[in-house]
Each structure stands twice: as structure tokens, then as C-alpha cells.
Structure 1
Amino acid sequence: MTESKVPDGLRYTKSHEWVRVDGDSVTVGITDHAQGELTDIVFVDLPAAGKTFAAGATVLTLESVKTVADVYAPAAGSLVEANAELKNHPELVNQDPYGRGWLFRLRPSGPLPDGDLLDPAGYRALLGPRGVGRYFPSNFGGRRSRNARIPSVRSLVPNVWPADSPSR
């Protein structure tokens, strides 16, 4: 596995979203690590602007060839917009997760919960020394896609568990 990109200037969640402050709103997407684990994203269920969300609530879902994953609000607030380009081009989430593949903009109803957001060094530490991390669909809100087979944990991150450890 290759090391995931973790750009400076962003904050990160433990559920593998990135957050960028843009004036009075925040732009949110999934990390390079998350898109790599989800593999090819084939559909993005975009919410309508103006909808309000509690911190940690599911804002939208991503469907990949192997799972469906929830993406969460990093703070309570109202949806400014979802990235409409993803309706016809969901692959942008894989191709450019920190650029054209952004997911939504949220106007927080209060300050961002800094204690819940990681700086780049903290997110790299979460991923582990090789940047391959402890990501599995279940901690990203994942569930089985209609046409997918969930791979074993060992096949996703083969060097994390010894061969004689029990499968999940």
C-alpha cells in the first residue's frame, strides 16, 4: 500500500473527513486514505442545501464498488451546498479528494469542536507509521453495497495482523 496524502492547512476527523475553514463556512471531503480504502466511488447521494445537521450526523453517503459509507458533519450547522459536479462525476472523489472531489460546504452554528479535529500530524499518527492506517468501512459508517462483497480485514491491510490472528 502507498502512503496516504495528508495535506497541511486542513483539519481531519477520526472518521476520515477533511475540513477546511472558508470564511464563515467549512468545506468537507474525505481523505485520500478513505477514498483509497473505499475504492471506486460510483454514486454520491447529495443532500439539499439549507438542511441542518447535528455534529456527527450523516450528511451524505458514498457508494463504492465494495461498500456504502456515511460522511459526517464535523460540527452542527446548515448545508450551504453539496458538490453538484459529483452527481455526474463521482469518480472525482477518488481522483482529486482534496480538490474537485470535495463533498459539501457547511455553515457551522457555533465554533468548530477543535478537540475533535486533528491537525495533519495527529491524522498521520491515527493512520500509523506507514500511513496505511486503521480504516475499515465500519468506522466510516460503511455498509455493504448492493453488488459488493466485503473483503476480509486481512486483505485490506495484510501487514497489520499476524497470519494466526482471528479474522473479523
Structure 2
Amino acid sequence: MRKVITACAVPVLLLAAACGTKDHADSSATTTVVTKTVTATAPAPTSAAPTTTATQPPPVATLPSQYVGKWPGHTRQLNLNSDGTGSLSVFSGAMNGTVWDVTWTGSGSGIAVTLVRKTKVVGDGAPLYYPGQVLTGALSSQDGGQVVTLAGVTYCDDTAGRAGICGA
């Protein structure tokens, strides 16, 4: 960046008179312009520029596809969607039960299901579970079908269900 500073001298009228004569010296006006160019420079940095690092989002957990689907049982059902959401329905008889929204992910060789919120309570509900609770489980083969055992409770595919593995 260049700055130009201009200084001007004020015209000065000089009168000179000769002593004892009628003649006066000639008067004249003078203008003086002084120009000085100043170049500004940026000061040198006093410290190094801060280091920035790009952060990566946490890796997305892999959802084991063999768990996706509907897993019924007598008075209960586990529904697991491919996007990591689902629902869990648990009843004590036909008149008391709770339906939950859940999220789920792979966990070791099994799954972890987190109870998010109650979406429906029938009668006295099923007080077994609470929001934020994590239920872990695994898949196994029984009587030619597939069974998800989640916190000690079984949920069956159609084949295992027909074999009576998951109740009446």
C-alpha cells in the first residue's frame, strides 16, 4: 500500500521597502509543494499460524443384515430396520404391554438394542424396561430356524416360530 503525503507552503508576500526612497521592491508570491512517498509494509508475524486439523466423523457402525426384519414371539415382537431403527413390543398377557422405539447396531458377534422411548402403553404396561436401557443379544439356529435371543428373551423367524421355540 502506498501513501502520498503532500505538504504545501503558504504563499508568502514579501514586501521590501528601500529606506528613504519612493520605490518599493517588487513583491512576489511563492508556492512550494513538497511530496514524500511512504511505502507501508505489513509487520512480520510474531508467531506461527495456528495449525488446523480436519476431523472425520466417527465411523458408521455396520448393521448385520441377518438381523433386519420382524422377529415375533408369543406376546412380543422385535422389528429391526436396515437404517438402525426399529420397535420392540413386550406384553404381559393380552392386556398389559409397552411398545418402544429402538435403535440398534452390531455389537461384537451380536447386536445391541437401545430403548429410545415408549410409543404405546396398554393397561399397566410392561415395566420390565426403561428409556436408555441397552439390551444385547445374538442370533442362533434352532430347529431349522433363526432365533434372536435379546436379554434372555427369544424372538423367532417363521420357521423357529412354527417349531414353538418362541411360545404358543
TM-score (norm 1): 0.27
Higher relative helix content = 1
> Of the two structures, which has the highest relative contact order with CA contacts closer than 8 Å and spacing of 6 or more?
1
